[in-house]
Structure 1
Amino acid sequence: MAISEDDKVFFARLGGRIAAMRKAVGITQVQMAEVLGVSQQTVNAYEMGSRRVPVSALPTIAKALAVSIEELIGETQKPGKRGPTPKLQQQIERITQLPKTQQKFVMQMLETVLAQASR
């Protein structure tokens, strides 16, 4: 069964969110792979959006990243609540769309600022 364009976009964004959240909490792809019982290459494929994340894996991923399944899949608004996505979430979404080298640069900048702030 062929994957639709909407599904491709969804899984690419989901993978980007997983990667950003994983990095934010300091978990490596190898560690995530161990939690999920898959290979590091599979986790990489999930994050790149080239492989679909099984629905059955979403609770485990969310728990490992300390987020809700809704946050993981990009549904950050509570039912009945309307309004814009929080600015930080919008920025994370934009960062996940950048090329890997630019993502790495942004992560290094954030780590530097956070390290300085904790002094």
Structure 2
Amino acid sequence: MPQESAHAPQRIAERRNALGLTQTLLAEQLGIAQQTMAHYEGGTLRIAVALLSPLSTTLGMSLEELVGVPTKPGKRGPAPKLQQQLERVAALPKAQQRFVMQMLDTVLQQQSG
């Protein structure tokens, strides 16, 4: 999965361009700075967990498409547990979102190191 998620910045830029959005406009819609959006698209900054759901909605993509998780065609039903959890995190106050992101970063760094 790490190989697939490495292409998320490219998918974001391609989709944004296809929709005719500038980085500035997309950043404004997400409530972030244009420079932050540029770092996300450039792959120099990881996308904040709290932004995944609003970003996928704004770009008209599923979370799976956004992060590069292959979907199984024809499978219907409730949203995957990860998507449900991401949506719950996105609804938390900013301080709690940062705490969850720090925890995730710590775990992911331990896995990759």
From 15, 25, 33, the equivalent of 2:19 is 25
The sequence identity of aligned pairs, in percent, is 43
Q: Could you list the per-position Cα deviations for residues 12-42 of structure 1 after superposition, in whole angstroms to 9, with x for gaps in the alignment?
A: 4111111011111111100111011111111
User: Within 2, Cα distance between the matches of 1:70 and 1:10?
Assistant: 11
* Residues 62 and 69 in structure 1, CA contact (< 8 A), matched pair in contact too: yes
What is the rounded CA distance, in whole Å, between the counterparts of 1:39 and 1:56 in structure 2? 15
Distance of 1:66 and 1:32 partners within structure 2: 12
What is the 5 A alignment of 1:49-88? 49-78=43-72
Task: Report the Cα offset of residue 71 of structure 1.
Answer: 0.6
2:24/2:34 contact within 8 Å kept: yes
Partner of 2:33: 39
In 2, the alpha carbon distance for the partners of 1:48 and 1:36 equals 17
Scaled by the length of structure 1, the TM-score of the pair is 0.55
RMSD: 2.2
Structure 2 unpaired stretches of 5+: 76-113
The alpha-carbon distance between structure 1 residues 10 and 54, as it changes in their structure 2 partners (threshold 3 A), is farther
> 2:16 and 2:70 mapped to 1: Cα distance?
17
Which residue in 1 is equivalent to 2:89? Answer: none
Give TM-score, length-normalised by structure 2.
0.58
| Residue in structure 1 matched with residue 85 of structure 2 by the alignment | none
Q: Which runs of 4+ in 1 moved over 6 A?
A: none
Equivalences, count? 75
